[in-house]
Amino acid sequence: MDYFLSLAVSGLLSGAVYALVGVAFVVVYRASTVLNFSLGEWVSIGARGTAAGIHGLGLPLLGAMAGAVVAMALLATAFNRAVLRPLVGRPAVAVVMATLALGVFMHGAALLALSDLPGDIPFPLAHRLWWWGDVAIPPARVVSSGVALALVLAVMGFFRYSRAGIAIRAIADDPQAATVVGMSVTRYLTLAWILSAGLCVAGGVLWSIDGLGGFGMGLVLAKVLPVVVIGGLTSFGGALVGAILIGLCESLVGGYVDPWLGVSFASIVTVVLVLVTLALRPTGLFGDRTVRRV
């Protein structure tokens, strides 16, 4: 029973961080229907930029994060206005290729600029353990998961209750009508990209605290896509549910099935979950079903 609880707690903690990055993906897609395939690099550079601020400039953690958020917000603004705006009305594949090209550029630029600096992010509770019976719980992971969950709930509240969040939702539903009533589509879409960039920085830092930092975090996209596909591309709550489901399945399968099979089946179970979801509900568990008249 203690072994099961240990695996379940680990899965829940991982799922909370997955959810934060998944929400960053959903923010952009919900606002502009853009699939940001460069998201993994946003997360990676957000973490490495924060680490550079700590080790290279001697900044405290929050100060380094703030600097990384500002830098990523400027990049998001430039990309949205200089690249995505001219692609309005073009085929979706052009936008996808633009995000992929951005990811390649970001990865190369980060290797050139940051590879000589340490990539770890110091955290006071990193080497401590809390005990719940015979279950060991790393407090650093508890804190990172709690912060991630709080940010997810904050984003959900922002889109549900704030004026800017409601405006972004209105623009996503009908951009032409939003323009007619005087809304600045470009400004609000830029705001969505900036919000996503900030979440990526936070997600990268929290991911690093969980011990998964480094330039390999560009592969975070391989975790995020199943999360949003299972939960639904337009649903923040779906991203949270999908992330928790994947975190639990990976942890439990890795703990019980992998030792029995002698191979790593935990990564495959995510693909199985995605295929089952697409077969039974293509829009995801909580995704919107678009109805078209023909």
The pLDDT tens digits of the residues spanning 57-113 come to 899 999 999 999 999 999 999 998 888 888 877 888 899 999 999 988 988 888 888
Encoding tokens for residue 9?
A: 């707690």
pLDDT reading at 127 higher than 80: no
How far is Cα of residue 247 from the mean position of the Cα atoms in its chain?
14
Cα separation, 51 vs 208, in Å, equals 10
Cα separation, 192 vs 201, in Å, equals 14
Determine the pLDDT at residue 291: 45
| pLDDT tens digits, 196-248 | 999 999 999 998 887 655 556 567 888 889 999 999 998 999 999 999 999 99
270 within some domain: no
293 within some domain: no
Count of structural domains, the chain: 1
- Annotate 168-197 with DSSP letters as a single string: HHHHHH-HHHHHHTT--HHHHHHHHHHHHH
Domain that holds residue 177: 13-220
Cα separation, 49 vs 31, in Å, equals 26
Encoding tokens for residue 228?
A: 């949003």
211 within some domain: yes
Residue whose C-alpha is closest to residue 158's, from 290, 258, 25, 27: 27
Q: Please state at what angle helix 39-57 crosses helix 61-79, rounded to 10 degrees.
A: 140
| pLDDT tens digits, 154-198 | 999 999 999 999 999 988 888 888 888 888 888 899 999 999 999
127 within some domain: yes
User: What is the gyration radius of the CA atoms in the chain, in angstroms?
Assistant: 19
Q: What is the pTM of this model?
A: 0.90
Q: How many CB atoms lie within 10 A of CB 141?
A: 23
Confidence of residue 262 (pLDDT cuts 50, 70, 90): low
Q: What sign for the dihedral angle of Cα 105, 106, 111, 113?
A: positive
266 within some domain: no
290 within some domain: no
Cα distances from 20 to residues 90, 208, 212, 285, in angstroms, run: 30, 13, 15, 18
69 within some domain: yes
283 within some domain: no
Query: What mean pLDDT do residues 270-285 have?
Result: 89
Return the residue matching tokens 């990976």. Answer: 250
Element (H, E) at 131: strand 130-132
